[in-house]
Structure 1
Amino acid sequence: MERVIRLRLAVLFLEKFAEAAIFPFMALLFAERLGTGTAGLLIFAAFAGATVAGIWAGHLADTRGRRRVLVPAEAGRALAAAALALAVLPETRAADPVLAAWIAALPFLALAIAAGISTPTAEATVIDLATPERRRQIYGAVYWVTNVARASGTLAGAAAYGLWFGWLLAGIAGLAAAVTLALALALVETRPVERPAPFRPAEMLAGYAEVLRDRLFLRYAAGVALSLAVAAQLAHYVAVRLGSLPGTIKLIDWSGLHLALDGPGLFGLLRIENGLMVVALAPLVQILARNMSDTGRLTIGFALFAAGFWVLGWSTDAWLLIGFTALFTVGELLYAPPKLALMAALAPEAGRSRAAAVMNLGFRLALMTGAAGVAAVGHVPPQVMAALFLAGGLLAGWLLVDVARRVEGAAVPGRAARR
């Protein structure tokens, strides 16, 4: 069990590191060489391909076993990353930058599809092993690894973009190959299937229909998607609103010491604050909150989260923004592990990978609301957006607290909890 959990955390780190290091910067590369319209279409195609692949893989992992899906998916990730590296490396790419970008588009799409296949399968593997006693601990580790991987991946991508970007991709391909080898040698099947049935689209649709008939699971999925939609606005609405502020914002003006930041600089400071707090404080918060109930952590966490985003939606005061960024980060540290752990309690045993695929679809749709946030800058008053953030955060918390209460209060997990 411990070995499988460690392998899952390794896959998770690679997945989130690669996502942060590759996708934003490949979008920038496509925009520079092919134009923003074409780049947008390629990113959308990657999103659509990963989504469809995840839905298909979720069904296969539930009907054929996790190992049969996860190992080939990780091998595909390694091959796609290697092909993308070859297309991007200055030593091997085509002399024509436009042609080179089009050559890179195919392995880029393949990489997104491989990630889409891997994600719900790997998540279902953890759900298979996450006993009620260890869910908080396991999902606390999942949350921490996710944030460390995203932060380090973003830094690596930003530092390598340009001459060294291809070598970064080659390194990711090497890591993916090592993870694939480890999975092939050490991954124990957590859902054995003696006689895998042939793929039938009608069976797949029936399996997803069964997952979607669970009203409590749908309530959970809605709460998670809503919380992600609010959180996504940090990198979209808040970033653009602060980035478009004129002049500078005073940070320190005391005893001859003067420090002011422009809008983009202030937003960068808030992102650094958020990232450092998550990486440094996540283990400490889990220790301090270990005796709190899930409902208590969700209630307090979402209250802090909603209050923090309410201020980030309208304020231009540097210290107020810094203080409430810390507040929403602490809230996120409190609610994230129990929120993730609820998935293990709710996912039906015969459809765990399909449930994970549904959650990943909700995650991707929630992130798309970031575009609406960007479009709202300059057209919707900040106080209105702040009120929407507050309402969205509180509603997400209410939904998830209600789900947690039903799960905790069910004498027999399952049917009684889902009424």
Structure 2
Amino acid sequence: MRFRDFHRNVKLRIGLSFLSGTANNMVLPFMSIYFSGKLGDTSAGLVVILGILAGVIAGFIGGYYADRIGRKKLMITAEIGWMICFMGMAVSNSPWFSSPWMTFVLMIFVSMFWGVHGPANDAMLLDVTAPDIRKFMYAIMYWLNNLSFAIAGIAGAFLFKSYLFELFIGLSVIGMITLMVTYFFIDEVYRPQSDEGEPGRSQRKTSMWSNYQLVLRDKTFMIFTAASLLLVSVEFHLGNYVGVRLEKEMVAAPFIPWMESSWHVDGLKMLGFIRTENTVLVVVLSVLMGVLMRRFSDSKVLFVGYACYILGYSYLAYSNQPMLLLLSMLIATVGELMYVPIKQAYLGNIAPDHARSSYMALYGMVYKGAMLLGGFGVIIGGWTPSWMMASLILLSGLVGMAMFYAILAQLEERKVKAEMSYKASTAPNASASVSL
């Protein structure tokens, strides 16, 4: 499988995601600093909380309607919305006018439009991608996302403070480009069941609450989601508990433990090194890991990856030795590279064709929940020693891994069903191509 063999929708969306992700990450991760300086720490925290809530609610609404009116309409609506918001932010931070409160409100709306866009975009990618190549697609997206973080983090650190107006103008322009490409070049391949006969008409009458009740009754999906929440939270502790612990406990540790005269590093610098290492390793090793793991079964790669990931991040919550911390991040990152594409491919196979956006919307709660668990980790870590916190993180990961193992047979069954469904949906098109 090669990149050029993907459906046009996938190639365009991957390119647009990299472009818009790089631009967004030059600005949005630094907005907490902006609001803290302009409006105070309380407002900075409030915009994060309200943004999460707005994104969750909008995600459920967007997921519901994307399964009923199509993906493209929701994506275009969201892209128009955030383009207008970025234009408003540019005006609110221009040389002629400044309004942090207007920026605050527009930031909430940006989160809302992201919530609408996400489930529709995720489902659209699955609509045009065969189950057997989804792992490759997610591997490319994972690599490009990390590359955009690396590029944007460096550029944003230099440009955000002095060129905020110009950055918002850039976001507006990229929003316009994204909108035009989606409108003119993205194909709507999903046809809601309501267009195909009586079953669809009954589906359209299903209320939003009833729709999500059906998703919640999918036991395999709910276990998958809960397991993902526990596992993703393992990594989220890095930016929360681990960062706080290192800042407090690592004052001036020698980089080489047995050489006191070696270079010394404090906790904040060490956290920066760890984060940089993770990003660089993902960018450098992604392709190599994909090639090396081809010879092994997905299930073996998945669980070996989980084990490395959990052990690496758990040790980060305990140690204060720089060399061992770097080694732990290496192990954790290798594990992450092994499991992420496979897990995402399983996720794509779980959702039935007619409810993909609804499933993706509910799965989006994983990252919101992981953020909350990361916050609780800081609170619990203030009461407990580091070895106990590391043990809790380890336990969380192991429970999540055990839950995955418990549904592995069902996941394989869903994969087979997804392959059969995809072949059935593309068979008429294939026949038409042959006749032509």
TM-score w.r.t. the length of structure 2 is: 0.88
- Residue 150 to residue 255, structure 1, CA distance change in 2 (3 Å): closer
1:290-313 superposed Cα distances (whole Å, 9 cap, x missing partner): 122221111100110111122111
5 Å matches for 1:235-250? 235-250=239-254
Match of 1:279 in 2: 283
Match of 1:88 in 2: 93
2:370 is matched by which residue type in structure 1?
A
Distance in structure 2 (CA, Å) of the matches to 1:389 and 1:326: 18
1:166-203 superposed Cα distances (whole Å, 9 cap, x missing partner): 21222122112111111111111121247598998962
Match of 2:129 in 1: 130
5 Å matches for 1:63-74? 63-74=68-79
Distance in structure 1 (CA, Å) of the matches to 2:411 and 2:376: 34
1:220 is matched by which residue type in structure 2?
F
1:98-131 superposed Cα distances (whole Å, 9 cap, x missing partner): xx21121122112111111111110001111221
CA contact (8 A) 1:211 1:348 kept: no
Match of 1:97 in 2: none
CA contact (8 A) 1:306 1:391 kept: no
2:38 is matched by which residue type in structure 1?
R
SS of 2:384's equivalent in the other structure is: coil
> Matched residues, percent identical?
28
- Residue 384 to residue 257, structure 1, CA distance change in 2 (3 Å): closer
- Residue 410 to residue 276, structure 1, CA distance change in 2 (3 Å): closer
SS of 2:279's equivalent in the other structure is: helix
Match of 1:180 in 2: 179
CA contact (8 A) 2:230 2:370 kept: yes
Match of 1:299 in 2: 303
1:370 shift after superposition? 1.8
- Residue 398 to residue 255, structure 1, CA distance change in 2 (3 Å): closer
Which residue of 220, 225, 229 maps to 2:229? 225
TM-score w.r.t. the length of structure 1 is: 0.91
Give the stretch that moved more between structures: 223-232 or 322-331. Answer: 223-232
- Residue 252 to residue 408, structure 1, CA distance change in 2 (3 Å): same
5 Å matches for 1:2-401? 2-14=7-19, 16-17=21-22, 20-89=25-94, 91-94=95-98, 100-193=99-192, 203-252=207-256, 258-401=262-405
1:286 shift after superposition? 0.7
- Residue 198 to residue 20, structure 1, CA distance change in 2 (3 Å): farther
1:86 shift after superposition? 2.1
Give the stretch that moved more between structures: 318-327 or 197-206. Answer: 197-206
- Residue 14 to residue 213, structure 1, CA distance change in 2 (3 Å): farther
CA contact (8 A) 1:64 1:197 kept: no
Distance in structure 2 (CA, Å) of the matches to 1:45 and 1:215: 30
1:257 shift after superposition? 7.1
SS of 2:317's equivalent in the other structure is: helix
Give the stretch that moved more between structures: 373-382 or 317-326. Answer: 373-382
Distance in structure 2 (CA, Å) of the matches to 1:337 and 1:224: 13
- Residue 103 to residue 288, structure 1, CA distance change in 2 (3 Å): same
1:270-329 superposed Cα distances (whole Å, 9 cap, x missing partner): 111111001111111011101222211111001101111221111111111111110000
Distance in structure 2 (CA, Å) of the matches to 1:201 and 1:108: 33
Aligned length: 408
- Residue 387 to residue 337, structure 1, CA distance change in 2 (3 Å): same
Distance in structure 2 (CA, Å) of the matches to 1:411 and 1:40: 41
Distance in structure 2 (CA, Å) of the matches to 1:198 and 1:112: 32
CA contact (8 A) 1:11 1:179 kept: yes
CA contact (8 A) 2:26 2:153 kept: yes
SS of 1:26's equivalent in the other structure is: helix
Distance in structure 2 (CA, Å) of the matches to 1:114 and 1:220: 26
Distance in structure 1 (CA, Å) of the matches to 2:286 and 2:111: 29
Give the stretch that moved more between structures: 343-352 or 41-50. Answer: 41-50
CA contact (8 A) 1:10 1:179 kept: no
Mark the runs of 5 or more structure 1 residues left unpaired by the alignment.
95-99, 415-419
Distance in structure 2 (CA, Å) of the matches to 1:80 and 1:339: 34
1:23 shift after superposition? 3.1
1:152 shift after superposition? 2.6
1:67 shift after superposition? 0.9
Q: CA RMSD in A?
A: 2.4
CA contact (8 A) 1:249 1:317 kept: yes
Mark the runs of 5 or more structure 2 residues left unpaired by the alignment.
1-5, 419-436
1:338 shift after superposition? 0.3
- Residue 350 to residue 46, structure 1, CA distance change in 2 (3 Å): same
2:329 is matched by which residue type in structure 1?
T
Match of 1:405 in 2: 409
1:246 shift after superposition? 5.0
